[in-house]
Structure 1
């Protein structure tokens, strides 16, 4: 199966924060399904363009991408499977890509909207794939030091948030990881059957040869399975 990715097209975040928020607010009434698709600093970020491409078959889906600074380093055009971040704009479903610096581009003044709050209001679902060990630790600790962690910290617990952990096997097997997963899955979780009272779902990791050369668990779920989860949760059907 071919997974050709779009060519580079320059499309930087030149708008002011308030202009970005105005566009976001206008799209609340577009009758589309709204997905926030986030990636943090893991080599599995290179699968993000494939996820977006597969989801772009749904004309009723609007995607807004959130990237940490570390995630951006995996999408710098250094290989065919690692196109530039700006090329994400070429997919028809992608309406915006946000970075940490988009939150406070200019000094805030009373009456201005706040980007991470408006993103939370806009989204029907947030998916973090991959969720790195570092970002997972921040989320469990309640930190809000970037666009992704700020959206999660402000998330309405009645909405759905799915995450797909990706890290080295040694990091996955570290005792602190088990404690953090317990918080996300048991204390905040939606339950094994999806019928729990929680709001956070941790998708299963897999065992494979990792980018570092180690063989073990901790790898992100296959990107095709992530697509299926999103389509199922959002009731998307291919047109």
Structure 2
């Protein structure tokens, strides 16, 4: 793994800081990722790392996130060859690092994976490895009929009652596909405000 992409929680955590892990998944609402990151980093003593599924990268420019001072981690950063026992494992280091996790947006696909315990990419591997004490928020984002599908209700029930994540949203609005209805991700400023309120963050 290149030095610029090596991640070890012990050296990356900073005393007195709030460490926010943003996970983006395959919904058009991933376009808001640079805005969420930039606004979080306008607060004092905050560090942000981003984990993105391959499909979410279609919707935003990674360099926009990096300009704000955060890094974007993908499946390709996890196992790069030449692994030896004792080497840091990215999904474990990220879960050790995070004080809170935001899955924003959470697509129907990733929601189903979480509910069934799948861990076939970096994002879901981090989530499966998380300590149950790590505050984790799910912000669903999908087409209205996908949200109204009976399996979605069951997946949300498992995520709330079994996995114990907090589900926020979705909201109703004009969707990217042209439909109007429930299914849009919670407004990005409200997502940031949730973190600000929980950790008593202050603007720099």
Q: TM-score range by the shorter chain?
A: over 0.9
Partners of 2:3 and 2:151 in 1: CA distance: 39
Q: Which has the larger radius of gyration?
A: 1
**Which residue of the other structure, out of 18, 22, 29, is the alignment partner of 1:33?**
18
Contact 1:99/1:147, CA 8 A, preserved across alignment: yes
Which residue of the other structure, out of 50, 53, 69, is the alignment partner of 1:65?
Answer: 50
**Equivalenced residues, count:** 204
How far, CA to CA, are the matches of 1:27 and 1:177 in structure 2? 36
Q: Deviations over 1:59-118 (max 9, x none)?
A: 30000011000000112xxxxxxxx212211114x2x21011100012322121211011
Q: C-alpha root-mean-square deviation of aligned residues, in Å?
A: 1.6
Structure 1 residues 18-59: Cα deviation after superposition (integer angstroms, max 9, x where no partner): x6124x431224432111011000000011111112112113
The residue aligned with 1:116 is 91
- The match for 1:219 among 181, 184, 187 is 184
Q: Which runs of 5+ in 1 are unaligned?
A: 1-13, 76-83, 190-199
1:21 aligns with 2:7: yes
Equivalent position SS for 2:104: strand
Which residue is equivalent to 1:183? 158
Structure 2 unpaired stretches of 5+? none
Alignment of 1:47-196 (within 5 A): 47-75=32-60, 84-92=61-69, 94=70, 96-189=71-164
CA contact (8 A) 1:130 1:163 kept: yes
Residues of 2 paired with 1:173 and 1:35: CA distance? 30
TM-score by length of 2: 0.94
Deviation at 1:236, TM superposition (A): 0.9
Deviations 1:146-184 (CA, angstroms, capped at 9, x unpaired): 111001000100111011000000100000000001111
116-125 or 26-35, larger mean C-alpha shift = 26-35
Alpha-carbon separation, structure 1, partners of 2:131 and 2:25: 21
Is the contact made by 1:166 and 1:205 (CA closer than 8 Å) also made in structure 2? yes
User: Going by fraction, where is helix more abundant, 1 or 2?
Assistant: 2
Structure 1 runs, 4 residues or longer, greater than 4 Å off: none
**CA shift for structure 1 position 188:** 2.9
Structure 2 counterpart of 1:44, from 9, 29, 47: 29
